Structure 1
C-alpha cells in the first residue's frame, strides 16, 4: 500500500512542485469555465482563486488541504447582470454580498460552536451527501468526455494505470501524467489550437484584473446573490466531510468549520474587488488527494502561487487553456467518481445499519434528490437528510427483530 503524506508534512520541492502543478491542472478547467460562460475574465478568475486559496489556508492555519475555485452556483446570476444587463459593478456588489453572508454565518458559528453539526449530520447523512456530491457531477464529466471519447478514454486509462501500477514518484502524479499523455494524443489528432499559444507570446505578460473596486450598491443584486451562499455553504460542509474521511482528520472541529466559512467568505469578498467570481472549495482537488494519498497543504500553497503566476504569464495561460475538453473529461470522470466512492466508504466505515428504516429512508431521499434535481440538488438533498434525521425515530431492537421474523 502506498504511504500517505499527512497534512503537515512537506515533501522536497522536486516532488512538491509537480504535485502542486497537478492540483493546478485539476482545478483550472472548471475555474476558467465559469468566467468564460458569464462574460468575465478567465485570467482574473485564476488570479482570484490563487489569492483566495492563500487567504483560506492562512485562516485555517494550513490544516485544510482544500483549493478554492470558481463556484458554479452563481452562473445564472452573473450572466443576468453581466451579459444581459452589462452591469459589472452591480454583479460585483452581489459577489461581495456573498462574502459578507459567509462572514455573518461565521459569527453565528462562533456564537453557538460547531459540535452540534455532528449531531444533526450523522454518518448516514454525511456519507450519502458526500456520495451525491461526486455522483451529481458525473454528467458534467461525461459531457466533457463526449467531445472525443477516444481521447477521453485514453486519458482515463493512463490515469488509472499510473495510479495502480506505477512505482515511485510517478504513482503520486497520475493526473498530471494523464493530462500530458492525453494532450499529446489530442495534438496528433488535431484537437490542440497551437495558433493561440503562438500568438500569446506577442503579449507575454498581462494584468489579471482590470476592474479593481468596481462596485455599485444594488439591492436587487444583493437579494439575487446573497441567498445562494447557502448552497456553497452546504457544498463546503460536504467537502469537509470528504476531507475528514480521506485524511483521517476532522476539519469541522479542527481548525473548525467556522474558520472554513470565514476563509471562504473573505476569499469571495476579495474576489469581488478584483472583478472575480464567488469561490468555493473544489471537489476536483479533493479527488486528487483521494487518488494520490498526498494530503500536504504545502502542495496547495504551490498550486495557489502557480495560479497567480499563470494569471499574469500569457503563454502559460494559453497553454493551459488549450487543453482539449475531452482530456479534462477523462480526468474528471475519475476524480468525481472518487468523491462518490468516498461517500460510500464513509457509510461502510461508520457501519451504518441499513436494516433500520430510518437510515434507509434518509439515504434513499438524499440520493434521489441529489442526483435527480438538476438545480441545487445537493442543497435540497442535504436539507432533506437533516430534516428526516431530526424527525424520524430509530426503531427499537424489538421492532427490528419482529421485522426480521416477518420477512422470513
Structure 2
C-alpha cells in the first residue's frame, strides 16, 4: 500500500499521509497536521516537543504542591483527547496552565480536594464556552469579552501572585538571583530552541547551584532516595467549595485567549483556515481540564512553547504530538521522577516565578496592544484600572460565609462593570 494514501483514522487525528519521501521537508513547504515524516524522524520531533513542554508543565505542580506525576499523566491524556476532538487539525500539546497557579495558591488552605474542585469548575465552564462557540461562531467571544476585559483579567491573574514570587526569592536570595540571571541570559541570548527553553534551563542551573551550595531541603532529598522507580500516579477526588470555585473561574478567560490564539497561530503558519475548529479546541481543553481536576492534576492549556518548536522545524504533524503525549504518560509512572522535581528549592522557584508571573501580566498588556485598546476612552480606562488594583492588591471581602480574593473581585467587577458602563456611555453620547 502506498503510504501517501490517507488512512481511514485521519478523522480522529490518528492517521497521516507521508510527506515527500519521509526523510526531508520539500523546499518551500511545511509538513501539514495530517502529514508526517518517517517514524524515526517523527519520534525525534516528538521528543523535542516533550523537552519544550517539560519545564512549564512540571513547574506548575512544583509551585502549587500538586503531584508532579499525576499532572504529567493528565497532560498526556489531555493532549491525546485534544487531538481526537479537533480531528487532527490543530497540532497542540496541553500542558499545565500558569493561570491556575494564582487561584490554587490562594485556596491552598482549603485543601487539595477543594483546589481540584476549582479546576473542575473552570474546565466545565470552558466546555460550555466551547459548545457556545461551536454553535454561534468564534465572533461571540469578542462580543462577550472584548480585549479591554480579557487583557485586564489576564494581567491581574498574573500580577496577583507577585508577593508570593518575592517571598520565595527572599527565602534564598543568592539562589534566586542565580536562577533569575540564568533565565534572563538564556532567554535573551540563547540560539533557537534553547532560547525558548530559558525558564527550564535557568531552573536547572539554579537547582544545580543550590545542590552544590547546600541549598536543597534535606527531607526532600531523603524522600528522593526512598521513592520507587515505578508506581501509579497519585489520584485525588475533588470537593466543591463556592469560594474556591469563584476564585478559579476567572482563569477561563485566560484559557480562552490562549486556545483561540493558538488556533490562529497554527492557521497562519500552515496557511489553513481553522476558524471552524476554535470551538472544538475550547471544548477539548475544557474536557482535558475537567478530567485533570477530577483525578488530581492541574488544569491544562495549549502551549506556546510547542509553537516555537513547530516554527523552528516547520513540522506541524499531529503524529509528533501523539509521540509527546505517550511519552508524558509513560514518565508519569515513575515516583522517583516526581520526587526529583520536588527537590527544587524555594530560591529557584522565586527566581523563576518572578519571570513567570510577570509574563502572565504582560500577556494581558499584549492583548491590549494587539487590539489597540483606546485608553483615552474613560470606560476602558476606569474599569481596567479598578480591576487591576483589586487583583494586584488582593482585595479580599466576604459575602456571608464566602470569602473572595482579588482575582475574583477584579474579574467579576470588570465583567459586570464594562458592559454596564459602555451601555450608559453610549446612551449619553
With structure 2 as the length reference, what TM-score do the two structures score? 0.68
Confirm whether residue 316 of structure 1 aligns to residue 337 of structure 2. Answer: yes
Residues 6 and 247, structure 1, Cα contact 8 Å, conserved in 2? no
Name the structure 2 match of 1:365. Answer: 386
Query: What pairs up with 1:32-71 in 2 under 5 angstroms?
Result: 32-34=62-64, 36=66, 41-60=67-86, 61-63=89-91, 66-68=94-96, 71=100
Q: Aligned to 1:353, what secondary structure does the other structure show?
A: coil
Name the structure 2 match of 1:255. Answer: 277
Confirm whether residue 31 of structure 1 aligns to residue 61 of structure 2. Answer: yes
State the 1:209 CA deviation: 4.3
Name the structure 1 match of 2:400. Answer: none
- Larger deviation: 304-313 or 240-249? 240-249
Query: C-alpha distance in 2, partners of 1:229/1:133?
Result: 10
Confirm whether residue 121 of structure 1 aligns to residue 145 of structure 2. Answer: yes
CA offsets per residue over residues 213-250 of structure 1, 9 Å max, x none?
x79xxxx8487877667334234234447657988969
Q: Pick from 224, 246, 255 the counterpart of residue 197 of structure 1.
A: 224
Name the structure 1 match of 2:357. Answer: 336
Query: C-alpha distance in 1, partners of 2:367/2:106?
Result: 33
Residues 50 and 328, structure 2, Cα contact 8 Å, conserved in 1? no
Name the structure 2 match of 1:279. Answer: 299
CA RMSD across the alignment = 4.5
Residues 76 and 328, structure 2, Cα contact 8 Å, conserved in 1? yes
Query: C-alpha distance in 2, partners of 1:59/1:119?
Result: 25
State the 1:24 CA deviation: 1.6
Q: Pick from 164, 185, 193 the counterpart of residue 161 of structure 1.
A: 185
Unmatched tracts of structure 1, length 5 or more: 83-87, 400-408
Confirm whether residue 377 of structure 1 aligns to residue 406 of structure 2. Answer: yes
Query: C-alpha distance in 2, partners of 1:20/1:165?
Result: 22
Residues 43 and 323, structure 2, Cα contact 8 Å, conserved in 1? no
Name the structure 2 match of 1:139. Answer: 163
Residue-pair matches, total:
371
Query: C-alpha distance in 2, partners of 1:332/1:288?
Result: 20
Confirm whether residue 180 of structure 1 aligns to residue 204 of structure 2. Answer: yes
State the 1:78 CA deviation: 8.5
Residues 56 and 267, structure 1, Cα contact 8 Å, conserved in 2? yes
Q: 1:247 to 1:379 in 2, by over 3 A?
A: farther
